[in-house]
Structure 1
Amino acid sequence: MARPRTFDRDDALDVAMRLFWEKGYDQTSIADLTAAIGISPPSLYAAFGDKRRLFEEAADRYDRTEGFTTAALEEPTTRAAVARLLGDAAVEYTRRGQPRGCMVLAEPHLGAHRAASRRALTARIERGVAEGELPPDTDVEGLVSYVVVVLSGLSARARDGASRAELAASAEVALAAWPGPPG
Structure 2
Amino acid sequence: MGRPRIFDEDRAVEQAMRLFWRHGYDGTSLRDLGQELGLKPGSLYAAFGDKESLFHRALDRYCDGQTTGLLAAVSAAGPLLPRLRALLIGIAQANQAAQERAAAGEPGDPGGCLIVGTAMDRADDEQAMDRVRATLERIDQALESALLRARVAGEIPASTDAAAAAHFLTTVLQGVQVMSSADPWHPRLEAAIDVALGALHANRPA
Q: TM-score range by the shorter chain?
A: 0.7 to 0.9
Q: Tell me the TM-score normalised to structure 1 length.
A: 0.77
Encode CA deviations 1:89-140: one digit per residue, 9 max, x unaligned.
Answer: 2233333332222222332232222221121111111222233332221022
How far residue 23 of structure 1 moved from its aligned partner, in angstroms, is 3.1
**Structure 1: unaligned runs, 5 residues or longer:** none
How far has the Cα of 1:64 moved from its partner? 5.3
Does residue 125 of structure 2 align to residue 124 of structure 1?
Answer: no
1:137 to 117, 139, 159: 159
Asked whether the equivalents of residues 74 and 80 of structure 2 are also in contact (C-alpha less than 8 Å), the reply is yes
Say whether residues 1:107 and 2:108 are aligned partners.
no
Q: For residue 18 of structure 1, what is the amino acid of its counterpart?
A: R
Counterpart Cα distance in 1 of 2:30 and 2:166? 37
Matched residues, number: 179
Judged with a 3 Å threshold, the aligned counterparts in structure 2 of structure 1 residues 77 and 12 are, in CA distance, closer, same or farther, namely same
Look up the match of 1:151. Answer: 173
Aligned residue for 2:70?
69
Structure having the larger proportion of residues in helix = 2
Q: Report the secondary structure of 2:201's partner residue.
A: coil
How high is the sequence identity, in percent, across the aligned residues? Answer: 36
1:3-35, CA deviations, whole angstroms, 9 ceiling, x for partnerless residues? 944654444323311221133335534333223
* TM-aligned CA distance change 1:145 to 1:168, over 3 Å: same
Q: 1:94 maps to what in 2?
A: 96
Asked whether the 8 Å contact 2:136–2:170 carries over to 1, the reply is: no
Task: Give yes or no for contact 1:17–1:62 (8 Å, CA) kept in 2.
Answer: yes
Q: Distance in 2 between matches of 1:36 and 1:149?
A: 33
The SS at the match of 2:75 is coil
CA distance in 1, matches of 2:6, 2:188: 44
Give the TM-score normalised by the residue count of structure 2.
0.70
- Report if aligned partners of 2:151, 2:158 keep a CA contact under 8 Å in 1: yes
> Do the aligned residues in 2 keep the contact of 1:16 with 1:37 (CA within 8 Å)?
yes
Residue by residue, what CA displacement relative to the aligned partner does 1:56-101 show, whole Å, maximum 9, x if unpaired?
A: 3323432455663122102322213322321222233333332222
Q: Distance in 1 between the 2:96 and 2:7 partners?
A: 30
Give SS of 1:136's match.
coil
- Aligned partners of 1:85, 1:179: CA distance in 2, in Å? 18
Residues 4/51 of structure 1: CA separation in 2 closer, same or farther (3 Å cut): farther
Output the amino acid matched with 1:79: L
Aligned to 2:197: 175
One-letter amino acid of the counterpart of residue 23, structure 1: H
Task: Provide the C-alpha distance between the structure 1 equivalents of 2:196 and 2:139, rounded to a whole number of angstroms.
Answer: 19
How well do the aligned residues superpose, as a CA RMSD in angstroms? Answer: 2.9
- Corresponding residue for 1:14? 14
